Structure 1
């Protein structure tokens, strides 16, 4: 199996080198994978992230792993970074994941086995709520987002409980069909990928399944998030605006 990874990165100087080492060590042990492309997208980092990535790529060579580094000066948010990464992928299966590796990596192996019978695999954190602990502010924002998504798009998402988790495994053939519809610059891109997979299924005579894996969240992740009131308002506004833009686009397609 040939696999492309997309890793969006922002201000990750404290952990990106270690994350790459851990991920590569895991990949090298997987017999399922014969050829690997790792697309690292530096989303306008203000620290030494790009230098660390560049040095790592230049200093390390692997038998079955190649690297592509995408970088730009302005921070555009995770959805934009993922869309930039999508432009670079070349292998049959694409894995999109957070660069701080928040989940135990066995979900990669589990997902690759599922993708043999599915066209998309996502994580569902709701079935292992005890392993998924977040702060109060983030929890409220998450629940509010899920409520809005269900209100606006519920008829397309029956049986799906987790829309925005930062891990997807998708066949490139499907990704090529839906990528022109992806517009989100935020974490809503993970929701878009699920939504347009469902819609593509509705339009196609050849149906494909969406599979789910149930991850264990690491006790500690490397990214530290702080919340400022006006920053929260800005994020909420962007997400609400994008939801309505997605709704208009979906209404034109259906």
Structure 2
């Protein structure tokens, strides 16, 4: 069996929107990839609410839904596990998004149209509905990446990215161990340095209607400092990482 597209997403305490998110992305796969094998992979990252139970209840209703439960390891850890599951299934393309219902499935088609031009394509939130402090920290990280790597990426950590499956497999093999706090940033840097055109396609970002952001204020500042140090250390091995991608 050949899987054309696997959509992957982490989930943590999203009980209020989880059923709707699974429905809209499943409906999208059914309507846009009618003749293709597709999967929706949701990794429940040790949710403390009813997210896990909701996902288990949804699985019999959606044949393409794959639910993975794990102990809480953080967003980045859950994303990597979701990627690994898609790679195990030999998905030709892997699309990552979040489970907080802030993105529109139809925007995936904008990235899909470019799939033959690049193995790694990013969306870009021109209008981003997040806390001002979070936006400020994101801006700092963006310029920190430019300072450390000489690489300017508009939205390097965006959870709206389309990656060729075999290229993703190579990227994952080059990630630091243990998994960094924000692995999507590392994947974007490696892809850019390997010569991929990221496109940074403008997409819609909706306001969060349910749940709450799990990382706030000082904790966010702390993890950003952690990410910056991880990026500095990763720079020492980057050239060898890039060689292994070609």
Normalised by the length of structure 1, the TM-score is 0.83
Query: SS in structure 2 opposite 1:214?
Result: strand
**What does the per-residue CA deviation read over 1:7-51, in whole Å, with 9 as the maximum and x for residues that have no partner?**
111111111111101111222211476111111111121111111
Aligned counterpart in structure 1 of residue 201 of structure 2, from 183, 204, 213:
213
Residue 205 of structure 1 aligns with which residue?
none
**Aligned residues of 2:21 and 2:101 also touching (Cα < 8 A):** yes
**Aligned residues of 1:78 and 1:185 also touching (Cα < 8 A):** no
**What does the per-residue CA deviation read over 1:167-225, in whole Å, with 9 as the maximum and x for residues that have no partner?**
11000011111111123443x32222221113333xxxxxx533332101224443422
Query: SS in structure 2 opposite 1:248?
Result: coil
**What does the per-residue CA deviation read over 1:103-150, in whole Å, with 9 as the maximum and x for residues that have no partner?**
22221111112113221110122xx3xx32332211221111112111
Residue 41 of structure 1 aligns with which residue?
43
Query: SS in structure 2 opposite 1:41?
Result: strand
Q: Distance in 2 between matches of 1:185 and 1:223?
A: 25
Consecutive unaligned residues in structure 1, runs of 5 or more? 202-207
Count of residue pairs brought into register by the alignment = 235
CA 32–213 in structure 1, closer or farther in 2 if over 3 Å, else same: farther
Q: What is the correspondence of 1:64-213 to structure 2 with a 5 Å cutoff?
A: 66-73=64-71, 75-89=72-86, 90=89, 91-125=91-125, 128=126, 131-154=127-150, 157=151, 160-183=153-176, 184-186=179-181, 188-201=182-195, 209-213=197-201
RMSD across aligned C-alpha pairs, in angstroms?
A: 2.3
**Aligned residues of 1:76 and 1:185 also touching (Cα < 8 A):** no
Normalised by the length of structure 2, the TM-score is 0.85
